[in-house]
Structure 1
Amino acid sequence: MSLDERFNAAAVKVKTFTKRPTDSELLQLYALFKQASIGDNNTSKPGMLDLKGRAKWESWNDLKGKAQDAAKEEYIALVESLSQKYL
C-alpha cells in the first residue's frame, strides 16, 4: 500500500471512531491532515473572537516547514494510536 493510500485509509478510519477524541488530539489530527494534504499554512490568521478557528490555525501553523510525506506518516501513526482508544 502506498503512502497516499495509507493516508487516505487513516482519514476514513478517523470518521469511524465511536468516541470523541480530546480537543488537543483533534487539533493534532487537524494540523497533521492539513499539513499532509496542503502543505504550509498560507491562510490569514482568524480574528480574536474566532477562538476555535484561531486554535486550528495556530496548530497547523506550528507545523510550518514539515514535509508533507512526514506529516502523512505522523498522521497515520496518530490515527493508529487513537484508534485503540476510540474504536
Structure 2
Amino acid sequence: MSVVAGDGCARSYAAHSLLVNPEPGQSLRYGWRLARWSPATETWRTYLRGHDGFVGAERTAEWRAEITGNAGWYRVELTAGRGKAVTSERFQVSC
C-alpha cells in the first residue's frame, strides 16, 4: 500500500493498493480506515472510514482522505474480506 500527500499544506491524501479476489465470481468487500495516534491513550484511533467492493479477479483500489486542522501522526489501514488489515507507514501532518 502506498500513501501520497497533496502539495504543500493541501491535506489531501491518497492511498493505493492492489486487491486480489480469491473468488473472482463473488464480490469482495473492503474497507479503509484513517487512524490518528492518540498520545493520551497510546492507541491508534479511527479518524475516517470508507468502504467499497468489486467483483472480478483484481482491482487497484484508491481512497482519498482530507485532514483539516488536526496535526499529528496518521496511518491508513486496508482490510479486504475477512483478511487481516494491511497498514501503511505512519506519516505526520504538521501544517
Q: TM-score, normalised by structure 2?
A: 0.23
The structure with more strand, counted as a fraction of residues: 2
The structure with more helix, counted as a fraction of residues: 1
The structure with more radius of gyration: 2
Relative contact order: is structure 1 or structure 2 higher (C-alpha 8 Å, sep ≥ 6)? 1
Q: TM-score, normalised by structure 1?
A: 0.24
